[in-house]
Amino acid sequence: MTATRRNAAGLVVLALAVLVPPALGEYRTYVLCLMAIYAIGSIGLTVLVGHGGMISLGHAGLVCVGAYGASLLMIRADVSFWLALPLATAIGMLVGLALGYPFLKLDGPYLAIATFGFAVALPEVINRWSAFGVGDPALFGGALGLNPPSPAIGSLIINTSLRFWYVCLAVLVVAVLLARRILSSRWGQDLRAYRQSPPAASAYGVRTRRVRVWSFAVAGGYAGLCGALLAHHLGAVGTSSFSLTLSITFLMMVVIGGVESVAGAVVGAVAVVALQEWLTGQTSNLQLWYGVALLLAVMFLRGGVVGMVQARLRRLRHRDEAEHA
């Protein structure tokens, strides 16, 4: 797609996203919010997996960091929701950096297992916090979890899904634009060069260690932001929301949408959440059909949904050119 056409398509989607939800009702809008929130998280994973070629099974851990970070800031430090969003992003980036350094030498399955370890260990630390005898035993709210307050703009309290949807949409738009800018930059080129040929990247002056570590920071930042929004969306923040399944769900969103595309991360999040919602309404064979749908998607959607659409459009354009030639 040309840049103009892509921008036009983006604007149409944005207009629909602004105009349609008031007609959808509370529950559907609630689901839309979840799509937008997961889309933000999956954009971060696209940077790491699609552009950096590093498989992470720990994305839910970073989202968990963002959710707890934002909740604690709001509850304990009386920080406003609006400030908690960038702060949770920064906390996510820092934790991403802290993971990126020790994981520098790990690749492929080793990296996947290391990130998996992080995602498994973190909720356990939170669950058993009171047993450590460090600081306040009720820091993470114990079995009840944390209940961050609802955000507000002046006297307008964001306490309906529709109001929160516009917040999520605005954050998502910023997140998408920022990701596109980052990935089209010299930094994004370096990251792709590192993925495809570490020797060529080094031979032409790319600081591969640095770009790798910072790609974890970017993934962590997006995960942190996703977590902060998710904290409000869930109402009660507990570790059960950040299971290994969520990490794998993020990976599926990235793969189904198309690993190398920001739009793909959004499409993947929408598709996976929609699939989950639809299957929830069906009978008992939910997990089976979920599995089958994913299998088919990965087998037949090379380059994800976005990759398939792009290939289609390319073929159409070639046919046009051939006919006019």
Partner 1 sequence: MLEVSGLAHSFGGVRALQEVSFRAQPGEVTGVIGPNGAGKSTLLSCLSGWVKPDLGAATFNGDQLLGQAPTDLAARGVIRTFQNLELLEESSVAENIALGTRRTASAGLLAAIVRGSAVRAQERRQRDTVTGAAERLGITTLLDVPAGELSYGQRKQVEMARAWAAMPQLLLLDEPAAGLDDRERRALAHVIRQMADDGATVLLIEHDIDMVMSLCSHLVVLDFGSVISSGSPADVRRDPRVVQAYLGGAA
* Residues of the shown chain interacting with partner 1 in the complex, contacts defined by CB under 8 A: 178, 181-182, 185-190, 192-193, 196-197, 199-208, 211, 214, 217-218, 260
Residue closer to partner 1, measured from CB, 32 or 218: 218
Minimum CB–partner distance for residue 202 and partner 1 (Å): 4
Minimum CB–partner distance for residue 52 and partner 1 (Å): 13
Alpha helices in the chain (DSSP H): 3-19, 26-45, 59-76, 81-100, 108-127, 129-132, 161-184, 186-196, 198-203, 208-234, 244-257, 262-280, 286-300, 304-324
Residue closer to partner 1, measured from CB, 133 or 199: 199
Minimum CB–partner distance for residue 278 and partner 1 (Å): 33
Residue closer to partner 1, measured from CB, 71 or 190: 190
Residue closer to partner 1, measured from CB, 195 or 233: 195
Instruction: Please give the structure tokens belonging to residue 158.
Output: 């964001």
β-pairing verdict for 152-153 and 156-157: antiparallel
Quick one: angle between helices 81-100 and 59-76, nearest 10? 140
Residue closer to partner 1, measured from CB, 123 or 264: 264
Residue 44: which residues within 8 A CB-CB, separation 6 or more?
59, 62, 218, 219, 220, 221, 222, 223, 226
Residue 74 · residue 228 · CB < 8 Å:
no
Produce one character per residue of 37-65: b if its CB has 16 or more CB atoms within 10 Å, e if not. bbbbbbbbbbbbbbbbbbbbbbbbbbbbb
* Nearest Cα to Cα of residue 161 among 298, 5, 28: 28
Minimum CB–partner distance for residue 207 and partner 1 (Å): 6
DSSP string across 26-48 = HHHHHHHHHHHHHHHHHHHHIII
Q: Tell me the Cα Rg of the chain.
A: 20
Residue closer to partner 1, measured from CB, 6 or 207: 207
Minimum CB–partner distance for residue 4 and partner 1 (Å): 16
Distance (Å) of CA 89 to CA 12, 15, 64: 28, 27, 12
Minimum CB–partner distance for residue 279 and partner 1 (Å): 33
Minimum CB–partner distance for residue 192 and partner 1 (Å): 6
Residue closer to partner 1, measured from CB, 72 or 179: 179
Coil, strand or helix at 188: helix
Residue closer to partner 1, measured from CB, 74 or 263: 263
Minimum CB–partner distance for residue 284 and partner 1 (Å): 42
